[in-house]
Amino acid sequence: MYRGQSGMWSWLLHRITGLGVLLFLLIHVVDIGLLNFGSKVYNEGISLFGTAAVRVLSMALIGGLLYHSFNGVRIILIDFWPKGARYQGVMFAIVMALTIVSFLPMAYFVMGPVFGWPTGNLRGGA
């Protein structure tokens, strides 16, 4: 084992979240493909997304996507901002903070319907 510092963990997490999101994308394209089979097939397929189990997975997806997005910005800053490399550690901390801060409300909206939390948005028939 190599005891890398934040740079290494940020990279590893970036890779894992990237591959995770890719996996989801591949599934998602298939479920979109269900549109070709008419409304009944599609609606049955897509209703899976409303189940509690898939909602948990969706949360993981959203968390991963948020991290991957923010860290992507960090990487771009490292690449194009001449001082970026010097502030990579600070930027990693900011990335983690932003990820958590933006993840929490998203998680509330995703899991809300399961627990009957008020979200104020359009929601499927309970």
Partner 1 sequence: MNVLMRIRRFDPDKDNKPYWDEFRVEMDPIDRLLDALNTVKWTMDGTLTYRRSCAHGVCGSDAMRINGRNRLACKVLIRDIGNKVTIEPMLGYPVLRDLVVDMDAFFDKYKSIKPYLITTDSEPGTERLQSPEERARYDEGTKCILCGACTGSCPSVWGNPDWVGPATIVNAHRFIFDSRDQGGADRLAILGQRNGVWRCRTIFNCADACPRGIPVTELIEQVKRAIVYGGDTKVE
Partner 2 sequence: MRIPSGYGPRLSGAGGFETFSWYFFRISGVALIFLALIHIFLNHVATDVSCTSYQLVAMRYTNPFWRLYDWLLLTLALLHGMNGLRVVIDDYVRSRGWQLTLQSVAGLVTLTYFMLGTITLITFQTAGALGPGCLR
Size of the site for partner 2 (CB under 8 A): 45
Q: What is the CA radius of gyration of the chain?
A: 18
Task: Confirm or reject binding of residue 40 to partner 1 (CB under 8 A).
Answer: no
- 46 Cβ contact list (under 8 Å, min separation 6): 31, 34
Indicate whether 88 belongs to the interface with partner 1 (CB under 8 A).
Answer: yes
Residue 60, number of CB atoms within 10 A of its CB: 13
Among candidates 95, 93, 89, which has minimal Cα distance to 68? 95
* Residue 35 partner contact from partner 1, partner 2, none using kind-dependent CB cut-offs of 5 to 8 Å: partner 2
The Cα 52–Cα 70 span in angstroms is: 27
Q: Which amino acid is at 36?
A: N
Task: Specify the stretch interacting with partner 2 by CB under 8 A; choose among 1-9, 31-39, 87-95.
Answer: 31-39
Interacting residues toward partner 2 by CB under 8 A: 15, 18-19, 21-22, 25-26, 29-30, 32-33, 35-36, 38-39, 42-43, 46-47, 49-50, 55, 58, 62, 65-66, 69, 72-73, 75-76, 79-80, 106, 109-110, 112-113, 119, 121-126
